[in-house]
Structure 1
C-alpha cells in the first residue's frame, strides 16, 4: 500500500509539471481549451505508459467541479435579464433543435456500439457546456472519459473553424472595450463559501446535478449582492486548476481498451460534429431574419460549443447582446436536460 502511494506521488510529480509546460505551450499557440488538452495529454500518457490509471484526489475533484459551476454562471450573471427575456423564445427554439439533434445522435451512437450506453452517447453529443458534461456524466453513470474526449474534440473543431469562417460573414463594425475585473476580499470569501457549501446544499435541497447546479445557483444569487458582475470571477490560476483537473480525470482514467474504443468511434464522432455544425449554420438563417441581427451574430449565437471563443469573437467585433443571450439560454437548457438524463433515457428507450 505504501509503495502504491509513493508510486502515485511520483507519477503526479511528473504529470503536473508536464501539464504546466504543455499548457503554457498550447496557450502560446492559441490552441482552444489549451489547459484541458494539456492535462489530458500528460495524464493519459502517464496512465498508458505505466499501464495503471491515474486517479485525481476526490477533494481536488470536488473543488474543481464547484469552480467549473462558478465559471458556467459567469455569462448568466453578465447578461442583462431584460435581454434574456427578449431572446428567450428564439433561444429556447434554438436550444430545443440543437438538443434534439444531440439526443438523437447520442442514441444512434449508443445503438451502434454495445460498449456505449445511452447515457454516455447522449452526454457526449449534447452541444455546449463541454466543461460541465464530464461532471454530469459521472453523476448519471456515463463513461466520463469518452464524454470528455468527445466534447473537447467538438470544442476544438468549433473553435478552430470560427476564426476561419468570420471573414466570410458580414461582421458588425467596431469593437468594445474589455471590462475590468474587480476582486475583493469579500468576493474571495464568497467564492470559498460557494465551493465549500454549494454541492452539500444542492444535495440537501435535492437539486438535480447538485455538484453543478448547487454552486451555480449560489453564484448567481450571491452576485446580486455585488455592484459589479465580475466580483465573483475566479482568479486565472484557479481557472487553470479547474480545467487541468477535468483533463487529468479524463486522461488519467484512459486505458488501452478505452483509447481503442474512442479511436474506433472517431469517424462517427466527426460525422456528428459536421452534422451539428451544419445544422446550426442553417438555424442561423431564419434566426437572423427573425431577430434583425447580422448572420454573423446569429451564427455565433447558435454555434454548438467553444463558448469562450464565441464570446471573444463577439466582443472583438462589437456583436450585440443576442450572442450571449442565446448561448446562456441554451446553456441553462442543456444543464437542465442533462440533470434529468436518466429519466429522459428511460422515456426515449422504452419499448412500445
Structure 2
C-alpha cells in the first residue's frame, strides 16, 4: 500500500477516534478527550474494519503521532515549573517533598501487591499503579513493553475514584473559607508576538530535550526529555528576567495531544491484552482505595503541621491528574496554585524516576524468574 494511503488511514483513524473524545468532553471531564478517544480507538482496534486496518507489520498508528502528543504534553508540564512554585516551596518544602516521596512509595507498594495477587506481569502492575496520570503512563508503558490496555484501564479507574471520593470527603470534613479566591489564574493570556516567539523557543527546546533523552536512553524521551528541558529553560529564564515568561498555549493544543495519545494507545489494543482481567481489576480497585486513604491521612498531617487547609492538601496529594485536581480546587475554593505545583512536581518525579526503576526491577525479576506469573 502506498505511503499516502497509509497516512490517510492514520489521519482517518485519529479523526474518528477523536469524535469519541469530543462526545465525552461534553460531560465536562477535563481528561474526557483522551478517555473518549482511547475508548473509540480501542473499539475499532478490536473490530479491525478493513477500511481502517493498516497493512503489514504496523499494529497501530504510526509511532510519530504518539511522540507528537507526548512532546506537547511535555511542554505543557514543563511550563508549569515557574517562579510561583519556587515561592510556594520556600516555607514548607521539606514536608511537601516527604509526602510526595511517600505517595510514590505507596504507589510502588500498590503495584507490588497487584503483581503478587493477580495475573498481571510485574512491569504492567508497576506502571498501572504509578501516580503519573492517564496522559503520561500508558505512553511510557508502551515503550518499555508493558500491557498498555491494563495500564490504561487501571489509570482510568484511579482517576474516576479520586475525582469521585477525594473532593467529596475534603469538602464534607472541613469547610473552606467563604469567599476565598483561587490563586491560580484561569484563561489564556491575550495574544502577543512575544508569547508566540516564546512558544517557538519552547518547541525547539522540547525537541532538543527529546534528542538528548534518546541519546541517554530515557523511557519516552519525547515526554520526559522534552518536559525536563522545558522546565529547566522556563525556570532559569524566568529567574533571570525576574518574572514568569508567558507563551501562547491555548487549551486546544492539549486537546490535540490527548487525541493523538488516546488514538495511538487505543490503536494497539487487542483482545489478548484483556485476558484474565477480572481479578486484576478487583485487586487494583482495593489497592487504589488503600492509596487514596493513605494520601488522605498524609494530607491531614500536612494540614496540621503547615497550616495549609485540609481541602488544599487533600487535592494536592491526591493520586489523580493535574487537570482534574486543579478544576476541583477552583470549585472547592482551595489554593489551586499549590495544588497544581505539587501535582506537577510529582508527575515530573514519577516520569523521570520510576520508569527506569521499574525497568531495572523487571530485568532483575526476569533473571530470577519472577517477571510473570505462571
Calculate the TM-score normalised by the size of structure 1: 0.86
Q: Which runs of 5+ in 2 are unaligned?
A: 369-374
Aligned position for 2:79: 74
In the alignment, is residue 125 of structure 1 matched against residue 144 of structure 2? no
Pick which of 172-181 and 275-284 moved more.
Answer: 172-181
CA distance in 2, matches of 1:144, 1:188: 31
CA distance in 1, matches of 2:263, 2:336: 37
CA distance in 1, matches of 2:252, 2:338: 30
The CA deviation at 1:132 is 1.8
Identify if the C-alpha distance between structure 1 residues 237 and 348 changes in structure 2 by more than 3 Å, giving closer, same or farther: same
Aligned position for 2:372: none
Q: Kindly report which structure 2 residues correspond to 1:1-352, keeping only aligned pairs within 5 A, or say none.
A: 1=1, 6=5, 9-10=8-9, 13=12, 15-50=13-48, 55-77=60-82, 79-114=84-119, 116-168=120-172, 169-173=174-178, 174-176=180-182, 178-179=185-186, 181-182=188-189, 183=191, 184-204=195-215, 210-223=221-234, 224-225=236-237, 229=244, 231-232=246-247, 234-316=249-331, 317-319=333-335, 322-341=338-357, 342-345=359-362
The CA deviation at 1:123 is 1.0
Identify if the C-alpha distance between structure 1 residues 117 and 85 changes in structure 2 by more than 3 Å, giving closer, same or farther: farther
CA distance in 2, matches of 1:157, 1:32: 15
Q: Which runs of 5+ in 1 are unaligned?
A: none
Report if aligned partners of 1:92, 1:330 keep a CA contact under 8 Å in 2.
no
SS in 2 for 1:172: coil
SS in 2 for 1:340: helix
SS in 1 for 2:237: coil
CA distance in 1, matches of 2:219, 2:62: 24
Calculate the TM-score normalised by the size of structure 2: 0.81
Report if aligned partners of 1:74, 1:233 keep a CA contact under 8 Å in 2.
no
Report if aligned partners of 1:301, 1:324 keep a CA contact under 8 Å in 2.
yes
The CA deviation at 1:86 is 2.9
